[in-house]
Amino acid sequence: MAFRIRYHYRKQQKEIGYANDKHHSPYDAIAAAEGLNLAEFHRMENQLANVSRNDKKTLKEFREEYFRKLGFSQITIFREE
């Protein structure tokens, strides 16, 4: 089953394909589609994961807030039919 990601970036709605075998997360897929370098994001995410072990809510909030600051909004994942 194929997935699609729909999101808003710089006041434009965009849609891309998504596969788990090609990207670590939907956020990585979005960044790759927009040509963004996420090296700093991954470094901070790893530090946060080490500090807040087993606290998935904190990691999710960090990801959402980081991408909101980059200008992304309304990120939704859905299956193609």
pLDDT tens for the chain, residues 1 to 81: 588 999 999 889 999 988 888 888 889 999 999 999 999 999 999 999 899 887 889 999 999 999 999 999 999 999 877
pLDDT of residue 11: 87
- Can you tell me which residue has the tokens 């998935």? 56
Contact between 5 and 72 (Cβ < 8 Å): no
| Lookup: tokens for 47 | 């530090």
Q: Could you say which DSSP state residue 53 is in?
A: T
User: 70 by DSSP, 3-state: which?
Assistant: helix
